[in-house]
């Protein structure tokens, strides 16, 4: 959540190369293999045993957030998520979103789902309000029903 906070409030742009730029991992050496919190879902190799243990992608996410959720569940189960600089893949981020307004909304709608699923229970109330306000400010009023639903967004 810290990396997202820094990113959403522009600290990553103000302080590139610092801990405030963790959202995009710009503070790391791209030539070094390392453990990370997540990698892009556009190209992931996941062990079958890890998939059996944590399950498949969560279909409550549409187009955005499912890779972050999966990586978090994989790490929480004790597996490693590794960035490997030897492997390359070209992924043109946000191409679909530029062509489809619903995709942009889904980008922001994924945030409260991820937050409620993984962080709400341990977040103090004052920070909870800030998180939801930040998501609402970035994503706009179409997100109000999702935010108002609270943890009910996790019901299938």
Cα 58 from Cα 68, distance rounded (Å): 10
pTM above 0.85, yes or no: no
Read off φ and ψ for residue 82, nearest 5 degrees. Answer: -120, 130
Whole-angstrom distance, CA of residue 150 vs CA of residue 74: 25
Read off the tokens for 8: 């959403």
Tokens 């029903």: give the residue.
145
State residue 156's pLDDT score: 60
DSSP letters spanning 16-78: TTSGGGGGGTTTS-TTS-EE-S---TTS----HHHHHHH-S--TTS-SSSHHHHHHHHHHHTT
Q: What is the pLDDT along the chain (156 residues), one digit of tens a residue?
A: 677 777 777 887 888 878 787 777 777 788 999 999 888 888 889 999 999 999 999 999 988 899 999 999 999 999 999 999 898 888 776 666 666 777 778 888 898 899 989 988 988 888 888 888 888 887 777 888 887 787 777 776
Tell me, what's the pLDDT at 10? 80
Which H or E run contains 5? helix 2-8
**Residue 100 is encoded by which pair of tokens?**
């489809």
- Taking the C-alpha atoms of residue 116 and residue 68, their distance in angstroms, rounded to an integer, is 13
Other CB atoms closer than 10 Å to residue 1's CB: what's the count? Answer: 13
């Amino acid at each position: 959540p810290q990396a997202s906070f820094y990113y959403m409030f522009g600290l990553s742009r103000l302080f590139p190369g610092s801990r405030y730029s963790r959202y995009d991992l710009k503070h790391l050496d791209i030539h070094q293999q390392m453990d990370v919190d997540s990698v892009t879902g556009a190209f992931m190799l996941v062990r079958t045993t890890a998939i059996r243990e944590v399950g498949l992608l969560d279909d409550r996410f549409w187009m955005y957030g499912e890779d972050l959720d999966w990586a978090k569940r994989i790490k929480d189960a004790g597996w490693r998520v590794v960035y490997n600089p030897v492997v390359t893949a070209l992924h043109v981020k946000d191409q679909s979103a530029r062509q489809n307004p619903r995709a942009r909304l889904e980008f922001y709608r994924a945030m409260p789902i991820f937050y409620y699923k993984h962080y709400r229970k341990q977040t103090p109330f004052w920070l909870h309000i800030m998180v939801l306000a930040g998501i609402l400010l970035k994503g706009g009023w179409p997100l109000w029903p999702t935010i108002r639903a609270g943890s009910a967004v996790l019901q299938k």
